[in-house]
Amino acid sequence: MDYNSYLEIYKIYLLEEKHSSIHTVESYIRDVKQFLKFCNNQNINVLNGISTTHIISYLLFLQKKGRATSTISRNLASLRSLFQFLFDHGYIDVNPTINLQTPKIEKKIPQTLSIYEMKTLLEMPDIHTKKGIRDKAILEVLYATGLKVTELLGLKIQDVNLTQGNIIYNCENNKRVLPIGRMAIQFLDNYINHCRDKIVLDKAQDILFVNMQGKEMTRQGLWKIIKYYAKKANINKSITPHMIRHSCALHLIQNGADLCSIQELLGHSDISSTQMYLRATDNQDLKDVYKKTHPRA
């Protein structure tokens, strides 16, 4: 079999046995294809001909091209997954990734919006229009829950419980019950009960947030919405959906939330991922929290 045949089998394995999301599968396949292109340029045309040395050479190649450590680490993770699959299913005799160490990634201080900037952004949608009502609900839910783009766009209308004030996210063995505050409840209720049915013509459509044609919204579509309102709010930062996620976490910490609660809210498997928000909190913030919470302060 050629490379493409192996990739097709691997893709089916990820989707049907590992139950990986389409976004995850696309990322893995994209990384692997770039590596196999590198191998072809090195005249390596069979999987059993790929050694640990070839993979190290590829990682060095990425490094010389100026790729970030996180990108190199992700590429190695993609290759690990592929070669483990090939080895386990008898397609190769040796797994060339078995003893390779993942590059240590320095966790950068996340870029965030101030509370004032976030408030300004949330005020931008025109809630007298269908689009504005939808966009207002999207922004409020993003800020209330800290959901990732793929998580938000994968929400279904039955995942929302306005009475109990929560959203249930359940995907890839990652179930989280996410509380939403009164503002998010108010504008989500307005969208669901007074607007969504006017946008969605197909009554079988159960995706919560749709585009203005009533179809599933794309990642690019969501990015455009946020960029539009950031420009309208005159916020001179390159705002992304993930920056709103970071802002949600940081503002919770600044108001006294504990790390374990934020870890659960964001779905971090390792609390070290949550701890990076402490680095974005200045000493005055910590002093204020200390004075509010310590019994001897």
pLDDT tens sequence for the chain (297 residues):
777 888 899 999 999 888 888 888 999 999 999 999 998 888 887 787 888 999 999 998 998 888 888 888 899 999 999 999 999 999 888 899 988 877 665 566 778 899 999 999 999 999 999 999 999 999 999 999 999 898 999 999 999 999 999 999 877 667 788 989 899 999 999 999 999 999 998 989 999 999 999 999 999 999 999 999 999 999 998 899 999 999 998 888 888 787 787 887 887 777 766 676 666 665 555 556 556 654 554
pLDDT of residue 257: 80
Question: Strand 160-161 relative to strand 174-179: parallel, antiparallel, unpaired?
Answer: unpaired
The CATH homologous superfamily of the domain defined by 3-88:
Tyrosine recombinase, N-terminal domain (1.10.150.130)
Same fold, 3-88 and 115-293: no
What pLDDT is attached to residue 297? 43
Rounded to whole angstroms, the Cα distance separating 116 from 68 reads: 32
Q: What is the pLDDT of residue 28?
A: 92
User: Comparing C-alpha atoms, which of 11, 3, 12 is closest to residue 49?
Assistant: 3
Residue 124's pLDDT is 97
- What is the per-residue pLDDT for 291? 64
Domain boundaries along the sequence of the chain: 3-88, 115-293
CATH superfamily of 115-293: Intergrase catalytic core (1.10.443.10)
